[in-house]
């Protein structure tokens, strides 16, 4: 804790005040090495035999100590000593750094705090040892007055930061961020960039991977069964194995319609923090199962406070609607076969109007008008709207139930988006049910609906256009029943694949300028909204493509 805080005050705050945590290769390796440190106590230490027997009297591993006077608690990896003279030993997985004091400041401070605790218990403790597992070297650190003063200062600083309730600002252009496991949560460069209003700052470094390591698993095969088999999930139809999916590679599980799932699977998903969502066969979102709620209560408190404030809601809502109209306009401009001067001009005007709206009701009106203009031109983006495919006759949006194939596809695409957003918001610690533009109604993930607005055209509509124009979905993939049109299981599976391809596609971020996949964009947007709600950045940067 003290170590993280000394490394970067913001990291310390995020991890220990807000309860954020993310694993990186370094943290996992650290734990792996550490387990061996803690366990090796079971084996008899070979060194203690023979000649050294009298010298080493005390040899205790994983010693927990705390002091109320200093307000400190520590778990010391190893305490060695003789009589009243003891030495704390801390294990680090890395190699020994070649710096003047033998170790970096965070490690020095951490070790010194352990030493101070031992002194508090009445031991004599003049020095400590850091054992670097990577290079198998012991480095002795003397607890001189300078180090003790530094340690006490860090402890006091940390306490002040916690009491103030304000998150410390990110480090500036620091090389420390590159290997920090929380870089995707902290967004150091992005926050600094948006705070300075882009004046003169270099574009953020692409510090985290452009695309996700894990991908969703969709099960929509009617009557399929999901079971756990060791480290993989088996999807079965009766006794026949349909496919297997490795647990470590799943980001979320979506179950469409009547799919069975076993309790061991649910438990394992909760344990790994993989969200499980339940949907109707048409993609209607019923709800989800998630491990224990996110720990960052601070964030949710800010969200609730902002949602109470009508003027803040309106500011955010304007952003969502403006970005949505702008993205619709871009999509039309890119894909429509005819030049559309008039509708594009009108939509530009709509964007201005949305920026001026002074109530949510008025904004709703502007959005509705603009959506109608957009959907009137929608069929011009579909290349197969010829006599061979009379089914693809599209005259405006209709739903519940969708009455033509395009509307069926759009409904499914939007349902997928809403689900995606609900999951993203839940994972970053926001409450998906409390929105700013969409007002809460029972069972409606209002915040997810808010944030998906700007992505409706660029993900949802775009996936529909791709699926039809590439011939991935044809007239045979639909069933018509009593005026309602729905997709066949196979058509749905193919459309979900098209949609997921769109989600995985990498684009150049319009604000930050680096390559990033849409899947990642969602997470970054959600975290930036959090940063905005907590007052770190002045504006929510809605996602507008160029």
Partner 1 sequence: MRHVYIVTYDIANPKRLRRVFKTMKGFGKHLQLSVFQCDLPAIDLIRMQDILTLIINAEEDQVLIFNLGPTESCPIKSIQTLGLPAKLAKRATVVV
Residues that bind partner 1 (CB under 8 A): 23-25, 28-29, 32, 209, 213, 215-221, 224, 229-232, 235, 242-249, 493, 496-497, 500-501, 504
Least distance between partner 1 and beta carbon 487 (Å):
13
Both structure tokens of 288: 């989800």
List Cβ<8 Å contacts ≥24 apart for 29-36.
Answer: 29/93, 30/93, 33/91, 33/93, 33/133, 34/77, 34/91, 34/93
Least distance between partner 1 and beta carbon 44 (Å):
18
Least distance between partner 1 and beta carbon 529 (Å):
26
Residues in the chain: 546
Least distance between partner 1 and beta carbon 134 (Å):
13
Comparing CB distances to partner 1, the nearer of 71 and 134 is 134
Least distance between partner 1 and beta carbon 429 (Å):
21
Comparing CB distances to partner 1, the nearer of 21 and 349 is 21
Comparing CB distances to partner 1, the nearer of 146 and 231 is 231
Least distance between partner 1 and beta carbon 40 (Å):
14
Provide the 3-class DSSP secondary structure of residue 418.
Answer: helix
Q: Indicate the pairing of strand 250-256 with strand 215-219.
A: parallel
Q: What is the dihedral of CA 88, 93, 99, 100, to 10 degrees?
A: 10
Cα–Cα dist 63/42, whole Å: 15
Least distance between partner 1 and beta carbon 19 (Å):
21
Least distance between partner 1 and beta carbon 46 (Å):
17
Both structure tokens of 117: 């605790």
Comparing CB distances to partner 1, the nearer of 218 and 531 is 218
Both structure tokens of 197: 């209003």
Comparing CB distances to partner 1, the nearer of 120 and 212 is 212
Residue where the block lists tokens 């689900």: 419
Q: Is residue 124 a contact partner of residue 85, using CB atoms and an 8 Å limit?
A: yes
Eight-class DSSP state of 238: T
Eight-class DSSP state of 84: T
Both structure tokens of 309: 């404030």
Comparing CB distances to partner 1, the nearer of 31 and 399 is 31
Comparing CB distances to partner 1, the nearer of 47 and 246 is 246
Q: What is the dihedral of CA 182, 183, 189, 190, to 10 degrees?
A: -90
Least distance between partner 1 and beta carbon 28 (Å):
5
Comparing CB distances to partner 1, the nearer of 80 and 500 is 500
Cα–Cα dist 267/485, whole Å: 37
Give the CA count within 13 Å in the CB-facing half-sphere of 513: 9
Least distance between partner 1 and beta carbon 32 (Å):
4
Closest to 430 in 3D by CA, of 543, 521, 360, 532: 532
Comparing CB distances to partner 1, the nearer of 105 and 212 is 212
Least distance between partner 1 and beta carbon 430 (Å):
25
Helix axis angle for 341-356 and 360-377, nearest 10°, is: 170
Closest to 545 in 3D by CA, of 332, 352, 386, 303: 332
Comparing CB distances to partner 1, the nearer of 18 and 220 is 220
Least distance between partner 1 and beta carbon 96 (Å):
21
Least distance between partner 1 and beta carbon 293 (Å):
24
Comparing CB distances to partner 1, the nearer of 43 and 69 is 43
**How far is it between the farthest Cα atoms of the chain?**
96
Q: How far is CA 160 from the centre of its chain?
A: 28
Helix axis angle for 188-195 and 518-533, nearest 10°, is: 60
Comparing CB distances to partner 1, the nearer of 217 and 385 is 217
Cα angle 37, 16, 433 (rounded to 5 degrees) comes to 125
Residue where the block lists tokens 């971020």: 509
Burial class (CB in 10 A: 0-12, 13-18, 19+), 472: middle
Eight-class DSSP state of 383: T
Comparing CB distances to partner 1, the nearer of 28 and 45 is 28
Cα–Cα dist 245/432, whole Å: 28
Least distance between partner 1 and beta carbon 182 (Å):
14
Comparing CB distances to partner 1, the nearer of 209 and 368 is 209
Closest to 532 in 3D by CA, of 447, 408, 457: 447
Residue 86's DSSP bridge partners are 81
Residue where the block lists tokens 């559309």: 340
Strand order in the sheet with 85-92: 58-67, 72-82, 85-92, 127-132, 137-142
């Amino acid at each position: 804790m003290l170590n993280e805080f000394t490394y970067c005050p913001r990291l310390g705050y995020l991890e220990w005040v807000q309860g954020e945590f993310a694993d990186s290769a370094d943290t996992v390796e650290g734990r792996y090495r550490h387990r061996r440190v803690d366990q090796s106590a079971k084996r008899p230490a070979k060194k203690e035999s023979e000649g050294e027997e009298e010298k080493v009297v005390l040899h205790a591993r994983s010693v927990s100590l705390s002091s109320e006077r200093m307000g400190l608690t520590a778990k010391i990896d190893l305490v060695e000593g003789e009589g009243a003279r003891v030495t704390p030993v801390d294990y680090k997985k890395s190699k020994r750094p070649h710096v003047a004091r033998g170790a970096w400041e965070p490690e020095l401070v951490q070790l010194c705090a352990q030493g101070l605790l031992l002194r508090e218990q009445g031991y004599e403790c003049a020095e400590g040892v850091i054992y670097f597992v990577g290079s198998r070297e012991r480095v002795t650190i003397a607890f001189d007055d300078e180090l003790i003063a530094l340690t006490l200062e860090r402890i006091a600083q940390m306490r002040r930061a916690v009491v103030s309730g304000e998150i410390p600002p990110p480090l500036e252009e620091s090389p420390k961020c590159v290997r920090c496991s929380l870089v995707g949560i902290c967004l150091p460069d992005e926050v600094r960039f948006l705070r300075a209003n882009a004046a003169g700052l270099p574009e953020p470094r692409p510090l985290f991977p452009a695309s996700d390591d894990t991908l969703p698993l969709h099960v929509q095969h009617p009557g399929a069964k999901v079971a756990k088999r060791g480290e993989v999930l088996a999807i079965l139809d009766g006794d026949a194995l349909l496919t297997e999916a490795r647990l470590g590679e799943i980001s979320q599980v979506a179950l469409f319609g009547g799919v069975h799932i076993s309790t061991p699977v649910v438990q394992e998903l909760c344990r790994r923090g993989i969200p499980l969502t339940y949907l109707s066969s048409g993609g209607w979102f019923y709800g989800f199962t998630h491990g224990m709620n996110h720990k960052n209560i601070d964030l949710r408190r800010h969200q609730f406070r902002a949602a109470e404030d009508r003027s803040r809601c309106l500011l955010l809502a304007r952003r969502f609607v403006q970005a949505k109209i702008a993205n619709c306009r871009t999509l039309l401009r890119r894909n429509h076969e005819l030049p559309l001067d008039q509708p594009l001009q009108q939509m530009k005007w709509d964007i201005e109007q949305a920026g001026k709206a002074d109530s949510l009701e008025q904004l709703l009106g502007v959005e509705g008008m603009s959506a109608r203009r957009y959907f009137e031109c929608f069929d011009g983006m579909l290349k197969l709207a010829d006599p061979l495919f009379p089914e693809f006759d599209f005259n405006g949006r209709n739903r519940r139930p969708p009455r033509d194939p395009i509307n069926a596809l759009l409904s499914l695409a939007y349902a997928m988006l809403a689900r995606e957003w609900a999951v993203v918001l839940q994972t970053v610690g926001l409450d998906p049910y409390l929105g700013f533009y969409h007002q809460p109604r029972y069972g409606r993930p209002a915040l997810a609906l808010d944030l998906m607005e700007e992505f409706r055209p660029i993900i949802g509509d775009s996936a529909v256009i791709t699926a039809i124009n590439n011939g991935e979905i044809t007239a045979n993939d639909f069933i018509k029943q009593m005026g309602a049109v729905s997709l066949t299981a196979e058509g749905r599976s193919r459309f979900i694949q098209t949609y997921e391809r769109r989600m995985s596609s990498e684009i150049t971020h319009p604000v930050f300028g680096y390559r990033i996949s849409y899947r990642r964009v969602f997470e970054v947007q959600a975290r930036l909204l959090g940063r905005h709600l907590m007052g770190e950045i002045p504006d929510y940067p809605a996602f507008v493509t160029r």
